[in-house]
A = this chain, B = another copy of it.
């Protein structure tokens, strides 16, 4: 059967990205994806942040091949393994400690949403409260507890049951004259607010799916402070913008705050393998053994890749590189896109071009694909073209990609 026909015939209608990028892909290297016909594409999507260190990063890949060739144990549930020990020690010693963090590490089912579910269970258990506060505009996953947080209508309506125990708080960019910190303060202190005190407030420091909204450091500090004063846990979902995407390994470093719980996934898997971690302060570690579990929580191959990825990041000063390239991206976009036509927002190597209209953004990404570049959309009405190139992308490829994008924007917005 013709390959595309295979998908139409056998795969569920739920498939989505294959509709935007209707090629059959075969290989990938760095920032280039190649389809079965040999056509190459710049990847400015990067699995929504899952391959920050580039496709098939050789350093990481070699470790995997060696592990396989050596019959390294691949499936071990949450038993102790050599590779896991090495990862754990490296992560604590080389990543957490230098950043002043001493989180306990929980290996969860290898998806971001599973990490969020674990975080919610723990927060509720620790604080003995049912409610969680999340921000309007947020995205935290698609399994039920995470989905109750996730704010977009399309995702929510899939639940089929009411999504409860969550209160959505206006995001700071939504109402010009509303101080969202003091709004939350009022909800907590007004004895007639009708809103339950939450176990935790969960945030992304940059709302990615919400449309690339970067929360400033002062707001993040305000949130940390509010949570401290009211005995509320602060959870940072760093699934999409962690792993150096914003210029520091953890996205909250720029605000000098320490969340109580952090969720990592996507690029923590190093090379695109399923992996997720939930990190939390040691005093919160009141789990009973096995109270949250899952068959693939010890995905050894991903653990090997994870350590290799972290090593790579540190050795190649990826954080500094991101900061450098960030300026490059910003300058290019602001230079080429008139500010009265679209809004350019971002940090590190996650940027959005908000063209204020879903049809325009769709036309832009379609044109990009025709011109050999894969890029996705986000935000309200999907009106934001979302740039997430690999952090390792060579400057020239980055500039070439930006050129394709800006040209597409220009052709659609007609300036």
Interface residues of A (CB under 8 A from B): 1, 3-4, 6-7, 9-19, 21-29, 33, 36, 45, 47-48, 50-51, 55-56, 61, 64-65, 68-82, 84-85, 88-89, 91-92, 104-107, 109-114, 117, 120-121, 123-125, 130, 134, 136-138, 141-146, 148-162, 164-166, 168, 170, 174-175, 177-178, 183, 186, 190-196, 199, 210-211, 239, 265-266, 269, 271-274, 278, 280, 285-296, 299, 301-302, 379-381
Contact = CB atoms under 8 A, between A and B. Distances in A.
A7 B80 contact: yes
Oligomeric state, in number of copies? 4
A291 B144 contact: no
Nearest to A19: B289
A328 to B, nearest CB: 25
A10 B153 contact: no
Contact of A75 (B21, B47, B294): B47
Contacts of A48: 77, 295
A154 B293 CA distance: 12
Contacts of A296: 50, 110-111, 269, 273-274
A246 to B, nearest CB: 18
Given A80-B22, A136-B190, A193-B168, A71 B159 contact: no
Given A14-B285, A25-B73, A121-B160, 14 more contacts: A7-B80, A12-B104, A14-B287, A18-B78, A18-B80, A26-B73, A26-B82, A28-B76, A47-B75, A55-B73, A124-B160, A136-B193, A137-B192, A168-B195
A186 B174 contact: yes
A136 to B, nearest CB: 5
B289 A142 contact: no
A334 B134 CA distance: 44
